[in-house]
Amino acid sequence: MSMAHPLAPEPRAGHEFATLGGGCFWCLEAVFEDLEGVLDLECGYCGGHLAEPDYRRVCDGDTGHAEVVRIEFDPARLAYLDLLEVFFAVHDPTTRDRQGGDVGSQYRSVIFTHSPAQHDAARQALLAAQLRHAAPVVTEVRPAPAYWRAEVEHQQYFRRHPQQGYCAVVIAPKVGHFRSAFAARRKRGAPAD
């Protein structure tokens, strides 16, 4: 996983992309980089109307983009449904346009699918998530539109700034929850708790 080198426009042979939004992209990136079967990932923007968005414009809330992570994974080692199980476990899919104190459409819960099979699996995962929540699950499921990689300073943010306030108070508990709930699915050699 590299800060300096973006993902290729298409996944490598035999691999797939998953593009997910569930609050701040730093949170999802920190969780998914430890998941077995994830080969690479990066933070980016997806789902809006502005070409070549930047962080400031997306945070202003007028581009329509969601903060997302794009994940390249090996489906022979990590099923898409298993990836989505983690996704639904590490964010609240029942809050529209917010995760905790992060408020705005850029923080919406959304699955951007890359194939009809992913779309069907996402609908199945959404129904399973609804069974675990009393409130309605508001996660959008949409075909993946144009995607833009976020600026280099947003890549591997938690790894580079674990003591920063937002990282310590918001991201670290999500990572801790993932590490305990999905201990068997973590990469070998992943950092200890």
H helix runs in 19-115, sequence order: 25-32, 55-60, 80-89
pLDDT value of position 165: 95
Residue 86 CA to residue 73 CA, distance in Å, equals 14
pLDDT value of position 126: 97
pLDDT value of position 61: 87
24 is annotated as an active-site residue: yes
Residue percentage of the chain with pLDDT more than 90: 93
Sign of CA dihedral 14, 43, 96, 180: positive
Mean pLDDT, the chain, as a whole number?
A: 94
Q: Is 100 left (phi over 0), alpha (psi -120 to 50) or beta?
A: left
Specify the CATH architecture of the domain 16-185: 2-Layer Sandwich (3.30)
Q: Name the token pair of 124.
A: 């199945």
Residue 53 CA to residue 7 CA, distance in Å, equals 17
For 7, phi then psi, to 5°, come to -60, 150
3-state secondary structure of 81: helix
- Of the residues 24, 27, 43, 167, only one is catalytic, namely 24
pLDDT value of position 104: 96
What are the pLDDT digits (tens) for 124-182? 999 999 999 999 999 999 999 999 999 999 999 999 999 999 999 999 999 999 999 99
> Residue 88 pLDDT > 70, yes or no?
yes
For 176, phi then psi, to 5°, come to -60, -40
Please tell me the pTM assigned to this model.
0.95
